[in-house]
Structure 1
């Protein structure tokens, strides 16, 4: 019989660190399976799974890369036929990044087994336990989001310097 792990104030942080490592390994595996570099694979994942079309700026913020690097990623994905740039109907100066049906299908196909495994991870937990798990994960997400909002990134600093540099 296995015993429950010792509860300590560091258990949550340790478990989340292990989870972050697993995210990284899964992202690398997705990139390898799709024959892309890690940044392009993460970009196509964000674009394909986003509930609303992203702008290049939103994509760059999610990837934490500069505007010029975002342009390079978008150009590669367009050239490869994974996405299209479509003018935003409400602001014709902006573009939205739309995944091709083939790209969406490929990402969903590659991630399908992982999604299925994640969906079965809560089997055996009562509804009350699942609620506690969900509440905890929502708090974790909130903590990460607050950290990201409260901390200017190196990319923000580079973009601010680029904007301040006279052409």
Structure 2
């Protein structure tokens, strides 16, 4: 693809290419873990989340119904990848915790990519990095607004 005089005009295509590359990476992780892409994405969300999540939040992150999220969790628990841990404050609720085996497997697959991303980011100045973070957060907000509204009028 030929470069344009305004690189902003290339952004939609570059973002589409990035999305496709991320999808290919997710499929590769699933293959390496020996599971389908949905189960692998679920394990990754749970293992990489800075805070514990429950089945409802997992369903939201995966874009599936609560009943589908429950089926995914049941499958992963039966396979020894997840544990359900009851919340002390509300015994009706539970959070999902990856087993040590699942956490190690996900880390083994994801860590090389995280290191490569950090190496790429290290080449940016502080100002460039801040600009990239701000830009990506804005795109995240645009996508979330789009998902909630269901139409093209995002901003």
TM-score normalised according to structure 2 size: 0.87
Query: Considering only aligned residues, what root-mean-square deviation do their CA atoms show, in Å?
Result: 2.0
The alpha carbon displacement at 1:43 in A equals: 0.3
Displacement of 1:75 after TM fit? 0.8
Equivalent position of 1:137 in the other structure: 136
Number of equivalent positions: 150
CA apart distance, 1:73: 0.7
Q: 1:30-84 CA deviation, whole Å, 9 max, x = no partner?
A: 0000000000000000011111111111111111112222111111110111110
Consecutive unaligned residues in structure 1, runs of 5 or more: 153-167
Aligned to 1:121: 120
Match of 2:149 in 1: 150
Q: CA deviation at 1:149?
A: 3.4
Instruction: Give a deviation string over 1:118-152, Cα, whole Å, max 9, x none.
Output: 11112433222222222211211222222233349
* Partner in structure 1 of residue 96 of structure 2: 97
For residues 125 and 9 of structure 2, the distance between their equivalents in structure 1, rounded to whole angstroms, comes to 25
Question: Which structure has the greater CA radius of gyration?
Answer: 1
What's 2:38 paired with? 39
Pairing of 1:72-111 with structure 2 (within 5 A): 72-111=71-110
1:45-56 correspondence runs (5 A): 45-56=44-55
The TM-score, its normalising length taken from structure 1, stands at 0.81
